[in-house]
Structure 1
Amino acid sequence: MTAQKRGHAGHGHHHHHHDNVYLTSKNKNDAGVRITRIGLLVNLAMAIGKFLGGYIFHSQALIADAYHALTDMVSDFMTLGTVAWSLKPPSERFPNGYGKVESLGALGVSSLLLCGGVFMGLNAGQVLLSQFYPEAFETLQHAGLLVHAHSHSHSHDSEVVGPNINAAWLAAGSIVVKEWLYRATIKIAKERKSSVLASNAMHHRIDSLTSVVALATIAGAHVFTNASWLDPVGGLVISLMVIQAGWGNTKTALLELADTTVDDEIKDSVRRAASKALAQSPVPGHVEIRDIQGMKSGQNYLVEIEVAVPGSWSVQQFRQLEETLRERVGSKVRGVRRLKVRAVPQELQGISFTEEFIPGDVSPRSSPEPEEDENHSHQHNSNSHESHKRR
């Protein structure tokens, strides 16, 4: 624990991301590395097993569950891959750092999840349509308005065939394994205080819940007579769960890319850390924190603080205050990657960050001075040249 605190105090914003190297770390004895790799291998094996099982045993619910497991695995890989980019220091081309690369990766994964959920739902809906309204299904299929559903064997026979009972064993096995993975991962996450491992653990728990839905619908189709429709209903329910998760993540990624402000919770944490820094450091005169704003860039927070300082302060005094605030907030608020401090005189009231934006009615076209200056400069150069020639 002491090592964790020491690393955090030295450069707090790096500590949060260190956990993301679990996949690429060469330290195979590390518990976090081991459980992350086990989780990814299990996800891959289960996704393949469920896809094959769903196809062979004619289970819509199992195919939907397999797709969900696969997108989770792609999400983990993408997260682990983009975090390495987000940690790169700012460059001339990317002055705000590379955090948005992670946001773009999140948008890609969530879009995949969203589209996959929609297609799974359409597929399950087709199977239900073929069972309850076969004439309408045939009409739409002949009109070319339906994609070819996997469970075509269900609709072409006079007798509707439900999922094979062996599909239930796959779903039950998935629940047991995923619940074990959740408990093992969350235990290490709590010990390490790792948000990334905690997120991975929640993925395992959600997979376990979707497998419960699959098991219930597959088993129900066998327990109750004429209930083969339960399996595609299970597929539809899981697809709706996937769509909900996909839309939520897509919306978050889009808002991040549009540079929306950080949560109030982050602003409050920054305000508390900055206030403590002012209380504990010997600052001459009264300094007031007036406003805080920021934006999220991947897992990084780029924050700005506006402070009111005495008008008599020198640049050196403000510089010392800036360094104090940056060190304190950086070590206390997890994820803060950049901190800009803006000073305003205490005497002035009603100033906000919006004054930094140039009003729309101020533009080079409405101000002809640059052209005059340019002509004047050109004329001056011509006169100098003529004078030189006369000599």
Structure 2
Amino acid sequence: MASRRSISSQKKHDSDSDSEPDHDHGHNHGHSHSIFSSHTHDSSASSATAEKLMSAFQGRGSDRGTQITLVGLVANIALTAIKGAAGYFTHSAALIADAGHSLSDLLGDGVTLVCWRLSRKPPSEAYPFGFAKFETLGTTTVALFLVGGALGLGFHSYHLLLSTLSETASNLPAGPIQELLTNVTSAAPTAPSLGHAHGHSHSHGHDVLNPNALWFAALGVIAKEWLYRITKSVADQENSSVLLANAIHHRSDAYSSLVMFFAILGTWWFPALPLDPLGGMIVSAVIMKQSVDLLYGVYGDLTDAGIPRETRRSLKQTLDPLLASSPSLLAIRQIRGRRAGSLIFVDLTAEVPNSLSIHDATALEGKISETIKAARREVAEVRVKFQTVD
């Protein structure tokens, strides 16, 4: 006759079962592929820079996640003001749109800061399993901000493109090209206009695009890629999905600034071509792709998907030394886990002799929990179910 009992310990989150599919839903923060480098591994230089910057915010936040988010918040305020003013004075619609994206990053930083701080609160009577899923909530919200920003930028650039083509057609002599452009602009479907229409024309002398806009677009690329790297460095160390989402939000601005750089350059070289609004549409597509990736990443958390097979195998291997050294632990079965933000909750079945006392079972459970938590710092809680065998 088999007897069973359950005991638990507190510390982090993951969901797992031997029959579960091998999906990680975007929680692997080891490295990132990007157009800036084929493998953007966290370097010691990025970590050192992050440490120096966060020390300046030590009095305003007690943890690394808070400090790095405050660094990003201050940087985004500066970038929004600089790129917005530069876009206005250089008559670059692309740069103004890029400033609007930096402004959306301010909202993302605010959501990240609130959700990160909430997720670190200790369990309460209302939330006995802790507040870790506020990280998932924050990641989802940041992703939705990105979706909204991508749609707004896309619609704005679309309207600006139609306006540019229409003006170009009106200035052309009668002919097949003029007729083609007129037909295209008149037949194009209207789309809702989200955001502000800046209406900068490239055909009038006082509104000609100033090539100095290139410097500000380049500043955006460098600053936002740097913010991405230092934020991702902390996200990897804290295994935080919401910090990773904020880092990706930074990188989306780096992407947009890079495309804007080439759009402004192209508009300067070929002023008759609508490269500026086309650049905005390309950026919109890039940002939408990243936001969809973020939403897919939190889908597993929201649906309580299990941890991947590789993680389960790693957890089982972690217990191999304990299996070899403890005669009362016969086998480990049915390791499962589920995620909540950056935390993992694990449960497993341990086979023990039916002669094992309750006192020894309690001590064995403590060893199992301590062993797993020592190897995987993201594990918040380990529940052990004992099954006795003859």
CA distance in 1, matches of 2:346, 2:367: 15
Alignment partner of 2:139 out of 101, 106, 114: 106
Mean Cα deviation higher: 250-259 or 119-128: 250-259
Match for residue 241 of structure 1 among 267, 276, 286: 286
Deviation track 1:344-377 (CA, whole Å, cap 9, x = no partner) reads: 3447xxxxxxxxxxxxxxxxxxxxxxxxxxxxxx
Please give the alpha-carbon distance, in whole angstroms, between the structure 1 residues aligned to 2:369 and 2:104.
39
Letter of the structure 1 residue corresponding to residue 296 of structure 2:
K
How much has 1:102 moved relative to structure 2?
1.8
1:323 positional shift: 0.8
The yes-or-no answer on 1:283 pairing with 2:327 is: yes
TM-score (norm 2): 0.69
- Which blocks of at least 5 consecutive residues in structure 1 are unaligned? 1-10, 348-391
Matched, 1:25 2:68: no
Q: How does 1:239-388 map to 2 (within 5 A)?
A: 239-280=284-325, 282-284=326-328, 287-346=330-389
**C-alpha spacing 1:171/1:87, structure 2 compared with 1 (3 Å):** same
Structure 2 matches for 1:150-299, cutoff 5 A?
Answer: 150-154=197-201, 163-178=209-224, 185=230, 193=237, 199=244, 204=250, 206-227=252-273, 229-280=274-325, 282-284=326-328, 287-299=330-342
Cα contact 1:303–1:336 (8 A) shared by 2: yes
1:49-90 deviations in Å (ceiling 9; x for gaps):
223433454434323432433334433332232222222222
More displaced stretch, 103-112 vs 124-133: 124-133
Residues in 2 aligned to 1:86 and 1:265: alpha-carbon distance in whole angstroms: 26
172-181 or 42-51, which deviates more: 172-181
C-alpha deviation, 1:166, in angstroms? 3.2
The residue aligned with 2:156 is 123
Q: Distance in 1 between matches of 2:147 and 2:237?
A: 30
Q: Summarize the alignment of residues 35-184 of structure 1 with structure 2, pairs less than 5 Å apart.
A: 37-132=70-165, 133=181, 137=185, 146-147=192-193, 150-154=197-201, 163-178=209-224
SS of equivalent to 2:337: strand
What are the superposed Cα offsets for residues 16-45 of structure 1, whole Å, 9 maximum, x if unpaired?
xxx9x97973189x9998776444322211
1:253–1:22 Cα change, 3 Å: farther
2:375 counterpart letter in structure 1 = K
Q: What's the TM-score, normalizing by structure 1?
A: 0.69
What is the distance in 2 between the residues matched to 1:160 and 1:243?
34
**1:176–1:247 Cα change, 3 Å:** closer
- After superposition, give the CA deviation of every residue in 1:261-301 in whole Å (9 maximum; x if it has no partner): 12334323322222233334x332x5211121111111111
Determine the C-alpha separation between the residues in 2 that align with 1:187 and 1:243. 20
Secondary structure of the 1:330 match is helix
Shift of 1:304: 0.9
- Which AA in structure 2 matches 1:124? S
Q: Tell me how far apart the structure 2 counterparts of residues 86 and 33 of structure 1 sit (CA, whole Å).
A: 12
* Counterpart contact for 1:311–1:345, Cα < 8 Å: yes
CA RMSD after TM alignment? 4.0
Give the whole-Å Cα distance in 1 for the aligned partners of 2:206 and 2:182: 11
Unaligned runs of 5+ in 2: 1-9, 14-50, 166-180
CA contact (8 A) 2:57 2:70 kept: no
Aligned to 2:169: none
Q: Which amino acid aligns with 1:118?
A: L
Q: Is the 8 A contact 2:228 2:247 kept in 1?
A: yes
Report the structure number with the largest CA radius of gyration.
Answer: 1
Q: Which stretch shows the higher mean deviation, 294-303 or 79-88?
A: 79-88
CA gap 1:277/1:106 in 2 versus in 1, 3 angstroms: same
Separation (CA, whole Å) in 1 of partners of 2:331 and 2:388: 10
Equivalent position SS for 1:94: coil
Shift in Å, 1:146: 4.1
Which segment drifts farther, 213-222 or 39-48? 39-48
Give the Cα–Cα distance (whole angstroms) in 2 for the partners of residues 186 and 24 of structure 1: 14
